[in-house]
């Protein structure tokens, strides 16, 4: 059975098809990430138990020292329970497990999700995990059209296939020295690639709309005065900033 798709309209009006990740890809990513966070938490616990003041001695006494909680127990719990929200925010909707599984998180408009959406998505892991073995989340992904769990519904996000063979938005990344997020960089790429196919008025409207969105240093009055050549030059400069 073919994976369900969601159709999004890009800046140039051309529809982009994103393939929704199924239960298999989602579960594979989760299992990888679970092992990573479990290993990281165990590594901290092991090293902390050996090195933290009074921690190792606590293993052989009935009384647990405050240092053991401060330097071992609390950081271990933080690593385990906050792995997903922190890593997803830092990697803009991805994790090591998701990358290995070829999936990533996007909004329902195909954008990179902001920190708020990712945090909401992870707060609802508490619901998806009920009553055990991630049962609510699993059932939700099985019976929703876009294979979303409760956290995705609350945050307005989707999990899509993100393999290199899918020539879609979000497949490209902004240059390392660019302030653009990958989604904005991809939209500018697409606009510049189709520049000669568009009439002069459409070029200007789309370029001004994009610049207004990503370059807050330009006022609306300045944008209105720029020629299409100048608009194109500014867009190219955003993609190729000076080193």
Cβ-contact 189, 238 below 8 angstroms:
no
| pLDDT tens digit sequence for 212-225 | 888 878 888 888 89
Within a domain: 175 = no
Q: Are residues 68 and 157 in the same domain?
A: yes
Within a domain: 70 = yes
Q: Are residues 147 and 187 in the same domain?
A: no
- How many structural domains comprise the chain? 2
pLDDT > 70: percent of the chain: 78
Please tell me the distance from the alpha carbon of residue 92 to that of residue 31, in angstroms, as a whole number: 20
Q: Are residues 105 and 200 in the same domain?
A: no
Residue 172: pLDDT band with limits 50, 70, 90:
very low
Please tell me the distance from the alpha carbon of residue 107 to that of residue 81, in angstroms, as a whole number: 23
Three-state DSSP at 160 gives: strand
Q: Are residues 197 and 108 in the same domain?
A: no
Q: Are residues 43 and 135 in the same domain?
A: yes
Cβ-contact 53, 67 below 8 angstroms:
yes
Q: Residue 4 gets which letter from DSSP? A: P
Please tell me the distance from the alpha carbon of residue 88 to that of residue 159, in angstroms, as a whole number: 12
- For the chain, give the mean pLDDT: 81
Q: Report DSSP letters for 168-215, one per residue.
A: STTSS---TT----HHHHHHHHHHHHTGGGS-HHHHHHHHHHHHHHH-
Q: Are residues 186 and 74 in the same domain?
A: no
Residue-wise burial string across 193-205, b where 16 or more C-beta atoms lie within 10 A, e elsewhere: ebbeebeeeebbe
Three-state DSSP at 216 gives: coil
Within a domain: 172 = no
Q: Are residues 205 and 129 in the same domain?
A: no
| pLDDT tens digit sequence for 116-150 | 999 999 999 989 888 877 888 888 888 888 889 99
Domain endpoint, select from 127, 161, 195 = 161
Which pLDDT score is estimated for 58? 59
Q: Are residues 9 and 116 in the same domain?
A: yes
Q: Are residues 109 and 79 in the same domain?
A: yes
Q: Are residues 84 and 42 in the same domain?
A: yes
Cis omega (within 30 of 0) on the bond before 229? no
Which pLDDT score is estimated for 190? 76
Q: Are residues 63 and 157 in the same domain?
A: yes
Helices (H) and strands (E) in the chain, counts: 13, 4
pLDDT > 90: percent of the chain: 30
Which pLDDT score is estimated for 121? 95
Q: Are residues 91 and 141 in the same domain?
A: yes
The domain of 20 spans 5-161
Please tell me the distance from the alpha carbon of residue 125 to that of residue 139, in angstroms, as a whole number: 13
């Amino acid at each position: 059975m073919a994976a369900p798709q969601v159709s999004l309209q890009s800046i140039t009006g051309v529809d982009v098809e994103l393939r929704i990740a199924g239960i298999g890809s989602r579960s594979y990513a989760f299992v990888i990430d679970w092992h990573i966070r479990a290993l990281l938490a165990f590594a901290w616990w092991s090293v902390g138990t050996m090195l933290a003041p009074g921690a190792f001695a606590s293993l052989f006494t009935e009384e647990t020292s405050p240092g053991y909680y401060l330097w071992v127990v609390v950081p271990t719990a933080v690593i385990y329970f906050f792995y997903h929200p922190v890593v997803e925010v830092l990697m803009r909707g991805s994790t090591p497990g998701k990358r290995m599984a070829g999936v990533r998180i996007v909004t329902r408009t195909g954008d990179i999700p902001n920190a708020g959406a990712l945090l909401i998505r992870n707060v609802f892991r508490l619901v998806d995990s009920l009553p055990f073995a991630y049962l609510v989340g699993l059932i939700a992904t099985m019976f929703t059209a876009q294979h979303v769990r409760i956290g995705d519904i609350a945050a307005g996000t989707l999990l899509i296939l993100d393999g290199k063979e899918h020539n879609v938005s979000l497949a490209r990344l902004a240059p390392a020295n660019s302030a653009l997020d990958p989604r904005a960089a991809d939209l500018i790429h697409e606009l510049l690639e189709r520049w000669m196919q568009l009439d002069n008025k459409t070029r200007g409207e789309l370029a001004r709309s994009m610049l207004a969105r990503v370059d807050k240093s330009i006022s609306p009055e300045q944008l209105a005065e720029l020629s299409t050549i100048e608009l194109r030059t500014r867009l190219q400069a955003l993609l190729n900033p000076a080193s």
